[in-house]
Amino acid sequence: MTDHDTTPHRPFGRALCAMVTPFTPDGAALDRDRAAALAAGLVARGCDGLVLNGTTGESPTTSDAEKRELIAAVRAAVGPSVPLVAGVGTADTAHTVALARQAEAAGADGLLVAPPYYSRPPQAALEAHFRRVADATGLPVMLYDIPGRTAVRIEPDTMARLAEHPRIVAVKDCAYDVLGTTGLLARTPLAVYSGCEELNLPLCALGGAGFVSTVANAAPAEVRAVVDAYDAGATAEAARLNGRLLALTELMTASGLPGAVTAKALVDAGPPREPLQPAGRDAVDGLRGALAELVSRR
């Protein structure tokens, strides 16, 4: 077991938003102007960095060209100092490598790489996949452990071996395995970012680096305030602020609707792209009511 500094390593900042991808009103094309405006607003309201082309960014239904254009548009909007992490995970190692190189050329600062989905590679093949991608560019890599979507877990032992690679520096943790995450933090220098809203605050107590939040699309300042209070030593206040987010968080992430759908019901980003469908009127009214209540209690 290796001892580490108790101050979390934060290679991409503390408060990251898993940004939606804005489309034109018919959903047919990327809306670069709205993407730029959304990104600039999120940074102005408290986001240290942005994750683009991820799950919430509807990466399965955006083209390679749209992924490149989104990174370029957001980079131009937020300037050089805001970390941009680009999702590049696909079911094909060669395609993932190509997207990684494209993201680097477009201005990304890091790569978010999920396991290849559907094929369910064993751990040795999974490790080889991540090493191939990490070797392909000069960018730091955030592994994306989300077995609920990929059908394969990045086992803690595999992550511990991957942590020896100089460019594999972080994990977006959506595995719902607090014991495994605790062991990972104890064994490796990897920065662990919560990818599940309900674990944003608990992972702070374990030594987590921060969060990658879908809720931050709609309430970036409120999500950021939780970890700011924790960092300041005000743990009771952090718990109170976290509790205030509960109603909105439940509706955005636990209502049976994907986060891309609920987030787009609350921000000016056009419709989701098929096969996703816009939220129904009742869901939209509930989401907007919860956000209005949260904002009114600032």
Q: Which helix (H) or strand (E) is 227 found in, with range?
A: helix 220-231
What's the 3-state SS for 51-72?
Answer: EECCCCCCHHHCCHHHHHHHHH
Question: Could you confirm whether 67 is annotated as catalytic?
Answer: no
Annotated binding site for pyruvate: 56, 212
Q: Is 98 exposed, middle or buried (0-12, 13-18, 19+ CB in 10 A)?
A: middle
Rounded distance between C-alpha atoms, residue 110 and residue 72, angstroms: 14
First to last CA, the chain: 43
In sequence order, which residues have a C-beta less than 8 Å from that of residue 82 and are 6 or more positions away? Answer: 43, 48, 49, 50
Catalytic residue among 67, 117, 118, 144: 144
Helix, strand or coil for residue 179?
Answer: helix
Question: What are the angstrom distances between the C-alpha of 85 and each of 111, 172, 236, 255?
Answer: 5, 11, 31, 27
Which of 67, 117, 118, 172 is flagged as catalytic?
A: 172
144 catalytically annotated: yes
Per DSSP, the three-state class of 145 is strand
Contact 71, 107 (CB under 8 A): yes
The answer to whether 122 touches 88, Cβ cutoff 8 Å, is: no
Element (H, E) at 172: strand 168-173
- Compute φ and ψ for 16, nearest 5 degrees: -115, 145
Structure tokens belonging to residue 216: 């931050």
Residue 246 and residue 222 in contact, taking contact as beta carbons nearer than 8 Å? no
Active site residues: 144, 172
